Amino acid sequence: MSNHCTRPKTGGQGGNGAQQQRAPARTYAMTAEEVENPNDVVTGTFPVCSKSAYVLFDTGATHSFVSLSFARYLSTPSQDLEIGLAVETPSDNTLVADKVHKSCDLMLCDRMMLVDLVPLAILKFDVILGMDWLLANHASVDCFKKEVKFSLPKQLEFVFRSMGVSEPVKIISSMQAK
């Protein structure tokens, strides 16, 4: 897997950083057989808390998640979630998420960014970046081009381009949370 970041235009959207309303957490399940081309997903490998993580950008997830196996590498201690999440998997199992690792460092395109990660039993990916993180970072995902554009206020716009996956993805995202 290779990653490609660009530094295109100046500009960005203005914003006042208004507080966003909390929505029920969710992600969607899809197997490799259901994906016409597994290389259509937007993925990358980036340092999270200085440890290389395999990351999925998932516009279907309202929260950002970290696999239980990768969570042990996070330098920020876990805290209790204000409201626990009941996560329903595609096989109708329910997982409970009640912890969060706040303000974890993520290095993307030579920029240090922060992400709050909810530990959950997910497979294939170390980290799933959901809409909470994408929204906070003024990101838009272009699935056709396999890129994520960041238009942060008062910063140069930059773009991450995914180069696809090196092996078939067995799980793109694995749960629905309420």
Measured from the Cβ of residue 165, the count of other Cβ atoms closer than 10 Å reads 17
User: Is the CATH code 3.40.190.170 the one for domain 3-14+26-177?
Assistant: no
Q: Which residues, including other chains, have CB under 8 Å from residue 76's CB and lie 6 or more apart?
A: 49, 101, 102, 103, 104
pLDDT at 171 over 70: no
Mean pLDDT of the chain, nearest integer:
77
pLDDT in tens, 3-43: 566 555 444 434 443 333 333 455 444 433 434 455 668 99
Q: What is the pLDDT of residues 97-131, one digit of tens each?
A: 999 999 999 999 999 999 999 999 888 899 999 99
The structural domains of the chain, with segments of one domain joined by +, span 3-14+26-177
DSSP labels, 71-90: HTT-SSPEEEEEEEEEEE-T
Pick from 56-70, 89-103, 111-125: least confident: 89-103
State the pTM of this model.
0.74
Say if residues 100 and 79 touch (Cβ distance below 8 Å). Answer: yes
Query: What is the separation of C-alpha 165 from the centre of its chain, rounded to a whole number of angstroms?
Result: 16
Task: Name the residue with higher pLDDT: 4 or 168.
Answer: 4
Decide which of 74 and 36 is more confident: 74
